[in-house]
Amino acid sequence: MKIALAQLNYHVGNFEANTQKIIDAIRQAEKLQADLVVFSELCVCGYPARDFLEFKDFINQCELAIQTIAAHTHRVAAIVGAPRKNPRPEGKDLFNAAFFLYEGKIQYITDKTLLPTYDVFDEYRYFEPNKNFTTHTFKGHTIAITICEDIWDVAPDTDDDTAHNPLYTVYPLDEVRHQQPQLIINLSASPFSYVQHRERMRVIRANVKRYRAPLIYVNQVGAQTELIFDGGSIAMSATGDVLAQLPFFEECIRLVELKPDAPVTPPLSPEPIPLIHDALILGIRDYFRKLGFQKAILGLSGGIDSAIVLYLATRALGHKNVLSLLMPSGFSSKHSVDDSIALCQNLQSPYHIIPIEDIYRQFLNTLSPYFKDLPFNTAEENIQARIRAVLLMAFSNKFGYILLNTTNKSEAAVGYGTLYGDLCGGLGVLGDVYKTQVYALANYINRKGEIIPHHILTKAPSAELRPNQKDTDTLPPYEILDKILFEYIEKRRSARELIAEGYEPNLVSRVFKMVNTNEWKRFQVPPILRVSPKAFGMGRRMNIEGKYY
């Protein structure tokens, strides 16, 4: 059988564009002489549709789209993902379904069984789990159709124990195993993290090994607000050989012929930093494109975080569409301005220099009757950050720029940022990238020549809000801080566990306390592009006043 894998970028709720994209892919599959073309999970409406799924008209639009797409399946069959109404009054109103379309109509419908409700997922909020298990026949082949999570929990007696997570009590492919499926197809919308491609390959291989059938896995690509989807769709033979793997972060349609002598290809195995680099560019590009924005603005400080964000934004939007404001104060070093100018020139990106010292002095003069002789502290520091935010937002309002936030994950974790100041923005670009990873990104960007000026990479990080300030005045060195943060945030380990392993007790307690007591700030920051297995935002839900540490 010849199967086309359609790895495409959808727009949530844009039925006209999504439907046309699917129809165009069907026509391309016809030209490739495919028998079947497979699309991704909920591709008709886009994933995740979230509370749009509660609108009756939204579901009616999905049904209309399915009928429209079905009319184009006379020469090639298509498996398309969309919500469908639950015909029974009991249970949730919808199923997460895969529609098998052929000869102009719906031939089969398969509903999703395993509904993830963890981290960024909340599918049981909307969908009823499938309880009817069957295979389908097409051109003499018995096919088991699954949807995303349905293959991610392999039954416990598999040889690969790591593939089993006892989160579920039902294993969809085990339920149809007696029907001896000759092909497994999985429609997926699996969000990116820098370890996800390894997990994906492990899970697919475990399923192939257990069920002794080839597996076609089609994942969507593109970004939906903070979630990024990397594609990486795979066709794997019954012997565990990769017959095709589609590229990461790109739309692609590829034909695979399932036959005994089909050529194999080595699986892609990129390193985390190049993946994060490409994911962030896609995340910025799709956020702007799908919202109808074209131009970005950011405050360029001369530090590494804003430098990386400027580079990524120019790659995503074009160098002429990203404006930098350089806003030195009396505490800013000359090299910070010089480094920023050099970076803008390297990227051929426009910039303005707007000193804030006079504005800052006016604030101090206005407040002096109230501040009296109280010592300089964070109040004066934060005034500078908030002046910069006001200037950036003035440009945003006047000229239609969207402000990019440059805070990294280390800073966001411990609250090292000014609310309504440098924490402002429409999109958090680096909020899921630790400071040590930011430096690794800079080295990757400079791998073929200096783009980020060398001095930005070598100088000590500083907010430059008071004389001779350095980040280490307030925080542990980032190489130590990031290790503790990773253990707490990604691995959900306690302070007691880290102290037992030899971490300095006062340091661990201090870091944990900073993370927890700054939850209120993170509730107010812009959406953060997710690139790790555990990002701030909807995937990490904490009480603002929680004291556990």
Q: What is the pLDDT of residue 157?
A: 55
Whole-number Å distance between alpha carbons of 38 and 219: 10
Mean pLDDT of 98-122: 96
Helix (H) or strand (E) holding 37: strand 36-38
Q: Which of 33-42, 332-341, 347-356, 418-427 shows the lowest per-residue confidence on average (mean pLDDT)?
A: 332-341
Q: Is the peptide bond before 48 cis (omega within 30 degrees of 0)?
A: yes
Residues 6+ apart with CB under 8 A from 16: none
Number of Cβ atoms within 10 Å of the Cβ of 549: 16
Q: What is the CA radius of gyration of the chain?
A: 26
High-pLDDT (> 70) share of the chain, %: 98
Question: H helices of 32-134, where?
Answer: 56-70
Whether 148 is catalytic is yes
Q: What is the CATH number of domain 2-268?
A: 3.60.110.10
Contact between 530 and 120 (Cβ < 8 Å): yes
Query: Is 535's pLDDT higher than 70?
Result: yes
User: 361 — phi, psi (to 5°)?
Assistant: -65, -35
Mean pLDDT of 220-229: 98
Residues 6+ apart with CB under 8 A from 213: 144, 181, 182, 183, 184, 238
Q: What is the separation, in whole angstroms, between the first and last Cα of the chain? A: 56
Q: What is the pLDDT of residue 465?
A: 75
Whole-number Å distance between alpha carbons of 408 and 58: 37
Catalytic residue among 21, 43, 62, 112: 112
Q: What is the pLDDT of residue 118?
A: 92
Is 269 or 322 the better-scoring residue by pLDDT? Answer: 322
Mean pLDDT of 225-254: 97
User: 397 — phi, psi (to 5°)?
Assistant: -70, -40
Q: Structure tokens of 54?
A: 């509660």
- What is the per-residue pLDDT across 153-195, written as a single tens digit (0 to 9) for each? 775 555 555 555 677 888 899 999 999 999 999 999 999 999 9
Q: What is the pLDDT of residue 285?
A: 98
Q: Which of 147-156, 207-216, 250-259 shows the lowest per-residue confidence on average (mean pLDDT)?
A: 147-156
AA identity, residue 364: L
Residues 6+ apart with CB under 8 A from 289: none
Residues 6+ apart with CB under 8 A from 219: 7, 40, 188, 189, 190, 200, 229, 230, 231, 232, 233
Whether 112 is catalytic is yes
Is 419 or 161 the better-scoring residue by pLDDT? Answer: 419
Assign 334 a pLDDT band (cuts: 50, 70, 90).
Answer: confident
Whole-number Å distance between alpha carbons of 144 and 100: 12
Whole-number Å distance between alpha carbons of 393 and 355: 16
Reference 260, options 76, 29, 33, 1; nearest CA is 1
- What is the per-residue pLDDT across 430-484, written as a single tens digit (0 to 9) for each? 999 999 999 999 999 999 999 999 999 998 888 777 788 888 888 999 999 999 9
- What is the per-residue pLDDT across 361-413, written as a single tens digit (0 to 9) for each? 999 999 999 999 899 999 999 999 999 999 999 999 999 999 999 999 999 99
Distance of CA 315 to the CA centre of its chain: 17
Q: Which of 101-105, 293-297, 392-396, 475-479 shows the lowest per-residue confidence on average (mean pLDDT)?
A: 475-479
Q: What is the pLDDT of residue 467?
A: 85
pTM of the model: 0.95
Q: Decide the pairing of beta strands 215-219 and 221-224.
A: unpaired
Domain ranges in the chain are 2-268, 276-471
Contact between 229 and 212 (Cβ < 8 Å): no
Strand, coil or helix: what is 114? coil
**Domains 2-268 and 276-471 fall in the same CATH topology:** no
Tell me the CATH number of domain 276-471, given options 1.10.260.40, 3.30.70.20, 3.40.50.620, 3.30.450.20. Answer: 3.40.50.620
Whether 424 is catalytic is no
The mean pLDDT value of the chain amounts to: 94
Catalytic residue among 45, 62, 148, 344: 148
Q: Structure tokens of 177?
A: 């195993």
Q: What is the pLDDT of residue 472?
A: 84
